[in-house]
Amino acid sequence: MPVHVIVGSQWGDEGKGKIVDHLSEHVDIVARYQGGANAGHTVVIGKQEYILHLIPSGIFSENVTCVIGNGVVVDPAALLEEIEMLRSFGLAIKGRLLISHNAHLIMPYHKLLDTLREEQGAKIGTTGRGIGPAYIDKFTRSGIRIVDLLDRDILCSKIKINLEEKNKMLKQIYGKDELNVDDIIEQYQEFDKQIDDFITDTSYYLNNALAEGKTILAEGAQGALLDIDHGTYPYVTSSNPTSGGACTGLGIPPTAITKITGIVKAYTTRVGNGPFPTELTGADGEQLRKWGNEFGATTGRPRRCGWFDAMLLTYSARVNGIREMALTKLDVLSHLDEISICTGYRLNGKVLKTFPTDEKRLNNLQPVYEKVPGWKQSLTEIKHYSDLPVEAKQYITQLEELTGIPVRIVSVGARRDQTIFKDV
């Protein structure tokens, strides 16, 4: 199992952090390949909850080396805060974290422009972490990379050139004060001192590790429906969370990937704006939010909640190559007498064959639901698949049949030990 990719199958927050932490015990390396501090991955060990934004969720497994790949956009302020948080819990980071020299840096103006754009019209509902503007600079080839921190002259010159343009935007478009170039240079030189030890050529490191027979867990952030190419554009993030992103975002070949697991919430949530065919508005949605404690791990925003959507999942499985599911938060459905599953879509009287990714059709289609009985008993202490209530097993089988993807892991609580392996 050289490279096992873990992808979010819906709109993010499926429980990737929890599952990656659990699977980390059996691998050598855990690597994040895209996104930035927009991610919020929760790991609960015993009574302690940790929320990670940039550092891979393998950090709690002592023998694992964590890698932040070239595809990630790194906010050094957020990174240092996270390192400090982990150190305060006694975790050793030195020697266990590697950051790609090719990863792009999030700069103060990225965060500012992200927020201003949202305030003045974009209304994507971003996390405000500067993700979009940082990837814009990467793709217009004006971005500043981690490697630039290593050369004071290059760093100063790049910050100056960028700030000239960004200050014009801040002033002329948004009517805001200009940022001070010297302050930013000083701040980033200080960051350099603190993260210098972690910087390396991670693609070289990962490929050598593969040659030595080591195993890598590639940890996706966000989810397939937030993918810039395959998601519900424009209500997406600015990177490729889908499995293909693991190759470009880590500098490893597609041939190294041997397994792709989709993390799938037993219902659906979305934070931020954009279409959501199976959304439950009103009291039913609020109930689900309360039972599932569905509030954003990064921004604290209430997550929109709705039923499981087999059309969406089948699409996600296609664009990711998902061959197995880890089904999370099944325990949250324990309160319900009856559970609805979306089995198809109808638009203008016609049945849709595939998940549409344009806003117009997504907003106008009608989901077709099937109702199945609930189990009305707590699942949180169940350790073996065979001990699940018959209705819970029927629900799982139904999802497997509708999507054609087997469920291998069932999660029945936030804690590490609330994880059931189906075949064990």
Interacting residues with ligand IMO (CB under 6 A): 8, 11-13, 38-41, 124-127, 129, 131-132, 221-223, 226, 237-238, 271-272, 297
Q: What is the DSSP pairing of strand 97-100 with strand 199-200?
A: parallel
Shortest distance (Å) from residue 86 CB to ligand GDP: 16
Q: CB 140: neighbour CB atoms within 10 A?
A: 9
41 is catalytic: yes
Site for ligand GDP in 75-104 (CB under 6 A): none
| Interface pattern 398-417 for ligand GDP (x via CB under 6 A) | -------------xxxx---
Of residues 6, 7, 11, 16, which one binds ligand GDP by CB under 6 A? 16
Q: Considering CB distances under 5 to 8 angstroms, the limit depending on partner class, which of ligand GDP, ligand IMO, Mg ion, none binds residue 329?
A: ligand GDP
Shortest distance (Å) from residue 226 CB to ligand IMO: 5
Q: Which two tokens stand for residue 26?
A: 């059996």
DSSP category for residue 383: -
Q: Considering CB distances under 5 to 8 angstroms, the limit depending on partner class, which of ligand IMO, Mg ion, ligand GDP, none binds residue 131?
A: ligand IMO
Shortest distance (Å) from residue 264 CB to ligand IMO: 13
- Is residue 424 classed as helix, strand or coil in its secondary structure? coil
Site for ligand GDP in 294-323 (CB under 6 A): 297
| Interface pattern 7-26 for Mg ion (x via CB under 5 A) | ------x-------------
Q: Per CB under 5 A, does 223 bind Mg ion?
A: no
Closest CB to Mg ion among 13 and 294? 13
Write down the catalytic residue from 22, 41, 110, 230.
41
The maximal CA–CA distance of the chain, rounded, in angstroms, is 66
Question: Does residue 234 have a cis peptide bond before it, meaning omega lies within 30 degrees of 0?
Answer: yes
Closest CB to ligand GDP among 43 and 209? 43
DSSP category for residue 260: E
Q: Considering CB distances under 5 to 8 angstroms, the limit depending on partner class, which of ligand GDP, Mg ion, ligand IMO, none binds residue 341?
A: none
DSSP category for residue 170: I
Select from 15-23, 79-87, 204-212, 279-287 the region that touches ligand GDP (CB under 6 A): 15-23
Q: Per CB under 5 A, does 226 bind Mg ion?
A: no
Closest CB to ligand IMO among 126 and 243? 126
Is residue 227 within 8 A of residue 241, CB to CB? The reply is: yes
Q: Which two tokens stand for residue 397?
A: 């089988």
Closest CB to ligand GDP among 59 and 144? 59
Residue with tokens 């305060």: 88
DSSP lists the bridge partners of residue 66 as 30, 97
Task: Enumerate residues 6+ apart whose C-beta is below 8 A from 246.
Answer: 3, 5, 33, 218, 220, 252, 257
Is residue 95 within 8 A of residue 83, CB to CB? The reply is: no
Closest CB to ligand IMO among 129 and 329? 129
- Got the DSSP string for 234-251? TSS-SS--STTHHHHHHT
Is residue 359 within 8 A of residue 398, CB to CB? The reply is: no
Site for Mg ion in 39-68 (CB under 5 A): 40
13 is catalytic: yes
Shortest distance (Å) from residue 121 CB to ligand GDP: 27
Closest CB to ligand IMO among 209 and 292? 292
Closest CB to ligand GDP among 43 and 252? 43
- Is residue 32 classed as helix, strand or coil in its secondary structure? strand
Q: Considering CB distances under 5 to 8 angstroms, the limit depending on partner class, which of Mg ion, ligand GDP, ligand IMO, none binds residue 328?
A: ligand GDP
What gap in Å lies between CA 259 and CA 325, rounded to an integer? 11
What gap in Å lies between CA 218 and CA 32, rounded to an integer? 6
Task: Enumerate residues 6+ apart whose C-beta is below 8 A from 320.
Answer: 7, 9, 224, 242, 243, 260, 262
DSSP lists the bridge partners of residue 133 as none
Shortest distance (Å) from residue 81 CB to ligand IMO: 17
Q: Which two tokens stand for residue 140?
A: 């217009």
Site size toward ligand GDP (CB under 6 A) is 21
Closest CB to ligand IMO among 270 and 415? 270
**Rounded alpha-carbon distances, angstroms, from residue 50 to 29, 89, 264, 265, 377:** 19, 10, 21, 20, 28
Q: Which single residue brings its beta carbon nearest to ligand IMO?
A: 272
Residues in contact with Mg ion by the rule CB under 5 A: 13, 40, 297
Residues with catalytic annotation? Answer: 13, 41
Residues in contact with ligand GDP by the rule CB under 6 A: 8, 12-18, 40-42, 44, 297, 328-329, 331-332, 411-414
